[in-house]
Structure 1
Amino acid sequence: MVPTIYKWSMRWISCSGCLAIAAGCSLAPKYDRPPVSGSATPFKELQGATPSLSSDTAPLADGSTWKTAQPSESIPRGEWWTIFNDPKLDELESEAALNNQNLEAAVARVKESRAITQTVRSGLFPTVNAGFGPTREKVSPASQFQPDGTDFPSQTLWRAQANAAYEVDLFGRVADSVQASKADAQRSEALLKSVLLALQADVAQNYFKLRELDAEIDVFRRTVTLRQQALELVQHKYREGDISELDLARARSELATARSDEMTVQRMRTASEHSLAVLLGRAPSEFSMAASPIEPIKVSVPPGLPSSLLERRPDVAAAEQAMIAANARIGVAKSAYFPSLILTGSGGFEAATLADLFKWSSRAFLLGPLVGTALTIPLFDGGKRKGNLANSRAVYEEDVALYRQQVLTAFKEVEDNLSDLRILRDQVQTQSEAVDASSRAEQLSSTQYKEGAVNYLDVIDAQRTVLQSQRAAVQLSGVQAVATVNLVRALGGGWGDAEATPLAPGMEESISVK
């Protein structure tokens, strides 16, 4: 025979389950992604290009096409930096993903948000606890259906009971809270991907900047060698009495200036190397990188279409999850206007002496709250609920505006880098021509100086022009590499239908949150 205490427990649980099934009607507005200007038109820098059609593209009035956005911010970006075909960069990216402390902090924030979600989700289930101990009490005659004046002595009762409580989610308060918490967790996950993408881009940019400075140092070293040779020539001519001491002083000044400029670039390289070490999660004293002058970057990144950008950018995904959370909290604020129902019960054993506590005749139970009522209806709160609802709606409106601004910023960043790369392609070619022309002019001026046809100022001007042209060419190579990385970053770390190389096992483990 099933004990009575378990019968009422099963009835209470069954009742709670039925009410839970009937409850949970959300009062939150239906969420729809707000429209964003510009998502259905091609990038300005690519309007001359014709995107390839696929089953999910639609023609526009001007004949161009755009791709309907499908949420895919959770798709792994893979090792996008391998497009540069640089083993050293591959090594640095792997190390940064394993050891960077900002990334570790972002992983911890994801764990925090998931723990909060678990805490909020617990409101969907009953709470059960047990207790044991004595209580001292005196009951009233009325509670025992006795006439006034009947005296019931105080007594000590020992109890061993289990208590349960459950809030029936009649109007979706708990469900909307869980939905908001889940959106917050997904936002933190998107922000983790954003931190990872920023880290990968920062490592690549610092690496290319370091190599650019190596190339500048190489230019200055070759310049110092040429200045040294020029000084030797001037000293010879001075000893022969062909020139005055003024030319000798100018030659020495140019040599010293070139050496000083080389030292300036070396200081910049040291600082850049230290910055890269921190990104790798290492102390600057523990990291050094061999010199490796940069080579021109010949990588073309297919940018895709604006609407697909909304799928890939993790910061855009984070902004949208903030909207979803704010929308759900409107439902939480609305539910405060409606009744709340909390079911409570306890059952176990109670007796006047500890020896009699666990006898079958000592069993007891209580259904309903000890204090107050199970069903509470809000009547007056001085405008608190109205203020909370207005605040929730205002927060949602703010998040909508921030989302749209984030999308516009994403479009701008892509357009900026597309235009940079377009102009840089021509600028690099033009600068290369300038280097050739200035080098030829320097050779001619040096020859004419040896023959006495020009003075030494002409030689100095020609040499300075060569140095400036060569240095500008090297800097443009660095700017081009950084702009390519910036474009990849602006595209969310992926592009179009191009296949991405999967992350290496060690890198995948470093950013996984369990």
Structure 2
Amino acid sequence: MFRFPFYLLLTVFVLSGCMVGPTYQPPQPEMPASFQPTGPWRVAVPKAHLPRDGWWRVFNDPELDRLEIRAMADNPELQIILARVARARAGVSTSEAGRYPRLDLNPLASRSRTARDFSGSDHGTVSSFFDLPLDLGYEIDLWGRVRHTIEAAEANLEAGMADYQGALLSLQAEVARAWFSLRTLDSDAALLAKTIELRQKNLELIQSRYDAGETSKLDLERARTELSIAQAETEAVARHRDELVHTLAVLIGEQATGFDVAEKPLDLDVPAVAPDIPSSLLERRPDIAAAERRMAAANAGIGLAHAAFYPEIRLFGNIGFQSATIGDLFEWDNRTWGLGPSVSLPIFDGGRNRSNLQRAEAAWNEMAAAYRQKVLLAIGEVEIGLSSLHYLERQAAFLNAAVASSRSAAELSRKRYRAGLVSYFEVVDTERTLLSAERQSVSTLGQQLESTIYLVKALGGGWDEIDGSPTSHRQTIP
């Protein structure tokens, strides 16, 4: 009596390997082994598991460390993406439920009257019906519909986790960029404050000489003009600084009102970047990992579309009790059971399944193109970062030389003016040149730090595979 269920289950297990759809092959784009024009090429494999957190510690700035930690804990944008990851994780659990049978208890109690013409009675009959079935339903996943659904959900979850890592990296970079821009402005403000102090003394000196009839009013007005210009530039720097402070407040998840950062001019060296960075570091970029996982999800979507062309086979079963009176419901002779399969075979759907397959294939092509674009952009961004740092280093060296020579020239012109050998115009000219060179030098240092952050982000979070680089630990997704 048990042969039918036994052979039915045996058939299920034998056919459960008949999964349709393409087998996913991870993409293998070619990448240079190093960022050099003549370097050999190699196949790239996304590695989202590599460490990428803590890279900002290379700057050895405790205040930046504190801001980064606060941003990672309280930034609302990061919390939004975490919620999306949690939703995707729940989606995986929902998909995995399709692997298991569904068991439902569906009790029924009814009382009805049958019409006279159908009851065999002159007055009709009234009857009661009590049913307590335990229903079992299970989809026999012969063609991989359930498995493809799970694969797509898992790939989308992994893509969402990579998106989180990407958002985390972007947030860290934005905090570092805002912080060093703020400190660059503080250095600029310090230069202007020193300039204002010097020009104030010059104005007092010229005023006394003018009062004594030793210089012209033209020199006095020039001194006043130069002082006012420096004061106006100080106000512009202060305005820009307030904007950055408010930006930083938003990044770390605080209200801009009442938030402030103490002034602190730049006092650090630009971290050294190894000249031969391996392109394998690109493989841990979160956006590349996310794009690859979305390709995998799209591939599973093709399999799901293929499975729709095949019969959907379900196994149904039930066991329970039925009775006309509730008192006899649990009598052993009132027990019921049933077992059997159902098959749903698509015959005509107006081209729906074919269109769904075409849509799934188009989605895969879209994701594949997006992945290739991410790889190309990644290589380009790293090359831009390396090139920028190279030329900024050379620019900084020239500017340092310019600052030294212009400082000497400004001091010499002031001495010559006090000795009455030159007009104040020469002093104004040399001091303008000095201030310009100093401000450009500070700006270039800020650009070097910004380019370093840009390169860190382009590499997916630093270059810690190279000796002497910062140690980092991957951020764990809650």
Q: TM-score, normalised by structure 1?
A: 0.85
Residue 402 (str. 1) matches residue 370 (str. 2) = yes
| Partners of 1:107 and 1:192 within 8 A in 2 | yes
Write the mapping of 1:227-306 to structure 2, written as runs, cut at 5 A: 227-302=199-274
- Give the share of equivalent positions with the same residue, in percent: 38
Give the partner amino acid of 2:253.
G
Structure 1 residues 151 and 74: CA distance shift in structure 2, 3 A: farther
SS in 2 for 1:112: helix
Residue 379 (str. 1) matches residue 347 (str. 2) = yes
Runs of 5+ consecutive residues of structure 1 not aligned to the other structure: 1-6, 48-61, 140-148
Runs of 5+ consecutive residues of structure 2 not aligned to the other structure: none
| Partners of 1:337 and 1:378 within 8 A in 2 | yes
From 29, 36, 58, the counterpart of 2:29: 36
From 22, 28, 40, the counterpart of 2:15: 22
| Partners of 1:132 and 1:159 within 8 A in 2 | yes
Write the mapping of 1:282-431 to structure 2, written as runs, cut at 5 A: 282-302=254-274, 307-368=279-340, 374-431=342-399
1:182 corresponds to: 154
Higher mean alpha-carbon deviation, 120-129 vs 443-452, is at 443-452
Structure 1 residues 303 and 447: CA distance shift in structure 2, 3 A: closer
| Partners of 2:28 and 2:45 within 8 A in 1 | no
Structure 1 residues 368 and 150: CA distance shift in structure 2, 3 A: farther
Over the aligned positions, Cα root-mean-square deviation in angstroms equals 2.6
SS in 2 for 1:495: coil
Give the partner amino acid of 1:461.
D
From 183, 190, 200, the counterpart of 1:218: 190
How much has 1:311 moved relative to structure 2?
Answer: 2.1
2:463 corresponds to: 495
Structure 1 residues 36 and 227: CA distance shift in structure 2, 3 A: same
Q: Distance in 2 between matches of 1:467 and 1:131?
A: 85
1:142 corresponds to: none
Structure 1 residues 165 and 380: CA distance shift in structure 2, 3 A: same
Structure 1 residues 462 and 11: CA distance shift in structure 2, 3 A: farther
Deviations 1:63-111 (A, max 9, x none): x455654542112324111111111211221221111111111111111
Structure 1 residues 138 and 268: CA distance shift in structure 2, 3 A: same
Residue 447 (str. 1) matches residue 439 (str. 2) = no
Residue 122 (str. 1) matches residue 97 (str. 2) = yes
| Partners of 2:28 and 2:44 within 8 A in 1 | no
| Partners of 2:277 and 2:463 within 8 A in 1 | no
Q: Distance in 1 between matches of 2:75 and 2:418?
A: 57
1:105 corresponds to: 80
Give the partner amino acid of 1:85.
N
1:512 corresponds to: 477
2:70 corresponds to: 95
Deviations 1:336-393 (A, max 9, x none): 1111101112210110011111111111123347xxxx11111111111111000000
Structure 1 residues 389 and 469: CA distance shift in structure 2, 3 A: same
How much has 1:304 moved relative to structure 2?
Answer: 5.8
Structure 1 residues 361 and 424: CA distance shift in structure 2, 3 A: same
SS in 2 for 1:337: coil
Deviations 1:89-147 (A, max 9, x none): 112212211111111111111111010111111111111110222146799xxxxxxxx
| Partners of 2:58 and 2:470 within 8 A in 1 | no
Write the mapping of 1:18-167 to structure 2, written as runs, cut at 5 A: 19-20=12-13, 22-37=15-30, 39-40=31-32, 42-43=34-35, 46-47=36-37, 64-65=39-40, 69-135=44-110, 155-167=127-139
| Partners of 1:77 and 1:500 within 8 A in 2 | no
Q: TM-score, normalised by structure 2?
A: 0.92
SS in 2 for 1:497: coil
